[in-house]
Chain A
Amino acid sequence: RQVTVQRKEKDFQGMLEYHKEDEALLIRNLVTELKPQTLAGTVPCLPAYILYMCIRHADYVNDDLKVHSLLTSTINGIKKVLKKHNDDFEMTTFWLSNTCRLLHCLKQYSGDEGFMTRNTAKQNEHCLKNFDLTEYRQVLSDLSIQIYQQLIKIAEGVLQPMIVSAMLENESIQGLCGVKPTGYRKRSSSMADGENSYCLEAIIRQMNCFHTVMCDQGLDPEITLQVFKQLFYMITAVTLNNLLLRKDVCSWSTGMQLRYNISQLEEWLRGKNLHQSGAVQTMEPLIQAAQLLQLKKKTPEDAEAICSLCTSLSTQQIVKILNLYTPLNEFEERVTVSFIRKIQAQLQERNDPQQLLLDYKHMFPVLFPFNPSSLTMDSIHIPACLNLEFLNEV
């Protein structure tokens, strides 16, 4: 008996066979009803590998209708589950990760030499034999973009209510509250001091949470980088837009607090090895706005310094911040009209955009670089918890 089992394992060629009438059950157990937690501790993107092994068998027996049907049902199943869980970050990450992995598998095993450079000889044996699935790869790529957009929307929805209070209103630097501009009531975007008031720690905790989920679900690191670049852009845009509209936060002390908050975020990025994501660059206008609040604003040399420093802010934004700037106390002077005119004259030649506010809904285009897997199909084990006993290993 033992010999039989060993022989069976040895003969497994990394394909999975099923009867056509079991396709709906396969999609239900592996896609629409599957909870990501069920697969904790298993190979990341296991559903994608299982689906590829099923496609490969249909290809092996030259059954084009079965390939068509399975891919269509898979894509529709993924769309259905995403629609049902459209505010679930973990579920959306799970399917982004799996959709991209299936896309990578269809490239890695396409037989196209350009995608086979890192394959082992064994992996080359697992390539498709009969069908070219280029058009389905395009559909999976389009689906990945849709899932990515859903993921960003969920993350932004969680972060957005925290941004203004955490970045502009919360005072974590000790002693800074004594040097706030006087004469303004404490204003909050979210009811003063209420339960909707957040500190920067809350944003960082939430980022940690997103990062852990993306790592656990085996999301391609290049995609994780793009997610954080997008989120940091949104934090920058919402913060800067508020700064440009609120006199009470245009002060030296807010500039100081803001610069401290940004440095905390930069430190977090470095700690997670995300500093090459371009996230810090998206914060540049905010970094400059914080510095502008702290710079001296009196002499021609000060004007020169402001103009050479604030290259990521438009003339309109610089002038607006200077106009809104509120002295801390009676010893600090307001920014004079002549100083602002001097700045405007110096920046005249810049071809700046006319709009004052940043488009906080702007999305950077996403890329899904090819990321082949070192796993071989015949090494993949299907756990019993998936209830896929009807799949035959071939």
Chain B
Amino acid sequence: VAPRPRPRVLLKAPTLAEMEEMTTSEEEESP
């Protein structure tokens, strides 16, 4: 019997809007 594959780990992702906010705040922080 073939071994059962290990379940994959769910990578949490921010939403597109959250990503937008993150990049905007990063841009604001950088001089």
Which A positions have Cβ atoms within 8 angstroms of B?
A: 64, 67-68, 71-72, 75-76, 79, 111, 128-136, 138-139, 142-143, 146
Q: Across the interface, which residues of B come within 8 angstroms of A129, CB to CB?
A: 6, 8
Given A111-B5, A135-B11, A138-B13, 16 more contacts at CB 8 Å? A64-B9, A64-B11, A71-B13, A128-B8, A129-B6, A129-B8, A130-B6, A131-B9, A131-B10, A134-B10, A135-B10, A136-B11, A139-B13, A139-B15, A139-B19, A142-B15
CA distance A64 to B12 in the complex (A): 10
Q: Contact: A135 with B16, CB < 8 Å? A: no
Contact assessment for A72 and B19 in the assembled complex, using a CB-CB cutoff below 8 Å: yes
B23 within 8 A of A: yes
Are A67's CB and B15's CB within 8 A? no
* Chain A residues, Cβ within 8 Å of B6: 129-130
Within the assembled complex, what's the spacing in Å between the Cα atoms of A142 and B6? Answer: 29
Instruction: Tell me which residues across on chain A come within 8 A of B20, comparing CB atoms.
Output: 79
Contact (Cβ within 8 A) A135 B8: no
Chain B contacts of A76 at CB under 8 A? 19, 23
> Which single residue of chain B is at the shortest CB-CB distance from A59?
B8
Cβ of B16 to closest chain A Cβ, rounded Å: 4
User: For B16, what are the chain A residues with a Cβ–Cβ distance below 8 Å?
Assistant: 75, 139, 142-143, 146
Looking at chain B's contact residues, the main secondary structure is loop
Count the B residues whose beta carbon is within 8 Å of the partner chain — how many? 15
The answer to whether B19 touches A136 (Cβ under 8 A) is: no
Main secondary structure of the interface of A (DSSP, over half): helix
Q: In the assembled complex, how far is the CB of residue A81 from the closest CB belonging to chain B, in whole angstroms? A: 13
Q: Which residue of B lies closest to A145 (CB)?
A: B16
Cα A389 to Cα B20 in complex, Å, equals: 31
Q: A138 CA to B16 CA in the complex, in Å?
A: 9
For B1-31 the 0/1 string (1 means CB < 8 A from A) is 0000111111111111001100100000000
Complex CA gap A76/B16 in Å reads 9
Q: Are B13 and A132 in contact (CB under 8 A)?
A: no
Task: Collect the chain B residues with CB atoms within 8 Å of residue A71's CB.
Answer: 13
Q: Which residues of B contact A139 (CB under 8 A)?
A: 13-16, 19
Partner pick for A75 among B5, B8, B19, CB 8 A cutoff: B19
A291 to B16, CA, bound (A): 47
Q: Which residues of A contact B19 (CB under 8 A)?
A: 72, 75-76, 139
User: Closest Cβ of chain A: how far from B14's Cβ, in Å?
Assistant: 8
**Among candidates B5, B8, B14, B23, residue contacting A131 with C-beta atoms closer than 8 Å:** B8
Contacts of A142 in B (CB 8 A): 15-16
CA distance A135 to B15 in the complex (A): 8
> Smallest Cβ distance from A266 to chain B, in angstroms?
38
A131, B11: Cβ atoms closer than 8 Å? yes
Please report the C-alpha to C-alpha distance between residue A68 and residue B15 in the assembled complex, in whole angstroms: 13
Q: Which residues of A contact B14 (CB under 8 A)?
A: 72, 139
Shortest beta-carbon distance from B17 to chain A in Å: 9
Assembled-state Cα–Cα distance A222/B10 (Å): 30
Chain A nearest Cβ from B15, distance in angstroms: 7
**15 A/B residue pairs, CB under 8 Å, sorted by A:** A64-B9, A64-B11, A67-B11, A75-B19, A111-B5, A129-B8, A131-B10, A131-B11, A132-B10, A132-B11, A135-B10, A136-B11, A139-B16, A139-B19, A142-B15
